[in-house]
Amino acid sequence: MNTLGLICFFATILGAYGSCSFKFSDELKQCGELHGFTDEQVFHHYHHGYTSEEAPKFNLFVECAWDKWGFLLPGNKIDYDAIRSNKVSDFLVTGVCNDVLKVRETHPFIEAVNTCETTAPADIRAETIRFCITKHFKENISK
């Protein structure tokens, strides 16, 4: 393999690794400090769930983050259009790294948001919708 090929190979590997490293944004850091979570703990909870004792605190963390991202309307109603806007990365919302480049006719994250919006009751919490979006996003990227 020539030098240029080797550089491209390592750049691709390191780029994929860096893009899938879960680190708090400034907004998430503020919410993490407020509710006692580190980025490692949040990533773990995104993928492995949390105990019933941790649930209220984690719900508040997600609501804090979603409020800072503009995903919540007054009364903690979900603003699905803001979620679909992609101003916040899919990865920060779901913890799911979509590092597989695949040509698609539709966007798996937006499809997941649409699915959850049509099936959700009006008085649902942000964490429940985040979990729903994550579930459907995982399904959509594996198609």
Q: What does the block give as tokens for 3?
A: 């030098």
Domain assignment of residue 98, yes or no: yes
Question: Is the pTM here over 0.95, yes or no?
Answer: no
What is the count of structural domains for the chain? 1
Segments forming the whole domain that contains residue 111: 23-141
pLDDT tens per residue, range 79-118:
999 999 988 989 999 999 876 655 566 789 999 999 999 9
Domain assignment of residue 68, yes or no: yes
pLDDT tens per residue, range 56-86:
999 999 999 999 999 999 999 999 999 999 8
Domain assignment of residue 10, yes or no: no
Domain assignment of residue 14, yes or no: no
d(CA 111, CA 45): 23
Domain assignment of residue 96, yes or no: yes
Domain assignment of residue 15, yes or no: no
Q: Which CATH number is 124's domain given?
A: 1.10.238.20
